[in-house]
Amino acid sequence: MRNKLKQAWLILLIILIYIPNTKADEGMWLPMLIGKNYEQMKKQGFKLTPEDLYSVNKASLKDAIVSFGGFCTGEIVSKNGLIFTNHHCGYDAAASNSTPQNNILDSGFYAKSNAEEKPIPGLFVRFLVRMADVTPQVSEAIKGLPFEKRAAKVAEITRTLIGDATQGTNLEAEVKDIFKANQYLLFIYERYSDIRLVGIPPQSIGKFGGDTDNWEWPRHTGDFSIFRVYAGADNKPAQYAANNKPYTPKKFLPVSIKGVKNGDFAMVYGFPGRTDRYLTSYGVKVATDLANPTIVKLRDIRLKAWKEEMDKDVATRLKLSSEYANIANYWKYYIGQTEQLKRHKIYEEKQKQEAEFTKWAANKPEYANLFSDYEKAYKTYEPYVIQNVYAGFNGLLAVNWVDNANTFATAINNLQTKKDDQAYVANVKQETSATLDAYELTYNETADKKIFAQILTSFYNDVPKSQHPKFITLIAENYWANSPEATFKKYADYLWDKSVLITPVKLRQFMANPNKEVLEKDPGYLYAKNVLPSEYAKANFGTIITDYAAQRAKLDNLYLKALMEKNPNAAIYPDANSTMRISYGQIQNYSPKDGMTYNIQTNIDGMVAKYQPGDDEFDLPKSLLDAYAKKDFREYGVNGTLPVNFISNNDITGGNSGSPVINGNGELIGLAFDGNWEAMSGDIAFDKNYKRTISVDTRFVLWCIDVLGGAKNIINELDIRRDTPPKLSIKDKMIMKK
> What is the per-residue pLDDT across 482-535, written as a single tens digit (0 to 9) for each?
999 999 999 999 999 999 999 999 999 999 899 999 999 999 999 999 999 999
Any domain includes 560: no
What was the pLDDT predicted at 730? 53
Choose, from 657, 659, 681, 695, the residue flagged as catalytic: 657
307 shares a domain with 357: yes
Q: Are 197 and 97 in contact (CB under 8 A)?
A: yes
Please check whether residues 7 and 147 belong to one and the same domain. Answer: no
Rg of the chain, C-alpha, whole Å: 27
Which entry of 78, 87, 88, 213 is annotated as an active-site residue? 88
What confidence tens digit (pLDDT) does each residue in 248-271 have? 999 999 999 999 999 999 999 999
Q: Is there a catalytic annotation at residue 499?
A: no
Is residue 331 one of the residues assigned to a domain?
Answer: yes
- Identify whether 88 is a catalytic site residue: yes
Model confidence over 663-708: pLDDT tens digits?
A: 999 999 999 999 999 999 999 999 989 999 999 999 999 999 999 9
Q: Are residues 102 and 140 in the same domain?
A: no
Asked if 579 and 494 sit in the same domain, the reply is no
Q: Are residues 10 and 98 in the same domain?
A: yes
Asked if residue 376 and residue 515 are part of one domain, the reply reads no
Helix (H) or strand (E) holding 330: helix 314-343
Enumerate long-range contacts of 238-241, CB under 8 Å, 24 or more apart: 238/194, 239/193, 239/194, 240/119, 240/121, 240/193, 240/194, 241/194
Catalytic (active site) residue 256: no
Same domain, 406 and 514: yes
Q: Which of 223, 264, 556, 683 is catalytic?
A: 223
Last residue of a domain, one of 524, 540, 556: 540
Rounded to the nearest 5°, which phi and psi values hold at 644?
Answer: -120, -60
Q: Mean pLDDT over residues 354-362, rounded?
A: 97
Among residues 487, 514, 485, which one has the least CA distance to residue 500?
Answer: 514
pLDDT value at residue 44: 95
Final residue before a domain boundary, out of 146, 166, 188? 188
Q: Does residue 728 fall inside a structural domain?
A: yes
User: Do residues 271 and 282 both lie within one domain?
Assistant: no
Note whether 287 and 371 are same-domain residues.
yes
Interaxial angle between packed helices 2-16 and 135-142, expressed in degrees from 0 to 180 and rounded to the nearest 10: 140
Residue 553 placed within a domain: no
The gap from C-alpha 437 to its chain's centroid, in whole angstroms, comes to 24
User: Does residue 258 sit in the same domain as residue 301?
Assistant: no
Boundaries of domain holding 310: 278-383
Q: How far apart (Å, rounded) are the C-alpha atoms in residues 152 and 156?
A: 6
Residue 387 has pLDDT above 70, yes or no: yes
561 within domain boundaries:
no
Tell me the mean pLDDT in the region 332-347: 95
What does DSSP assign to residue 42?
A: H
Number of domains the chain contains: 4
- Does residue 657 carry a pLDDT above 80? yes
Residue 554 in domain: no
Tens of pLDDT, residue by residue over 698-715, are 999 999 999 999 999 999
User: What DSSP character marks residue 180?
Assistant: T
Q: Is 710 within 8 Å of 732 (Cβ atoms)?
A: no
Domain boundary among 188, 211, 228: 188
Confidence of residue 33 (pLDDT cuts 50, 70, 90): confident
Question: What is the bridge-based pairing of β-strands 183-192 and 72-76?
Answer: unpaired
Q: Is residue 549 part of a domain?
A: no
DSSP string, 654-692: TT-TTPEEE-TTS-EEEEEEEE-GGGTTTTTS--TTT--
Mean of all residue pLDDT scores within the chain: 93
Q: 674 Cβ partners below 8 Å, 6+ apart?
A: 214, 215, 219, 221, 223, 693, 694
- Residues 627 and 732 occupy one common structural domain: yes
477 occurs within a structural domain:
yes
Helices (H), ranges, 513-603: 516-521, 523-531, 533-540, 544-566
The whole-number pLDDT of residue 725 equals 56
Domain identity same for 604 and 718: yes
**pLDDT average, residue stretch 280-297:** 98
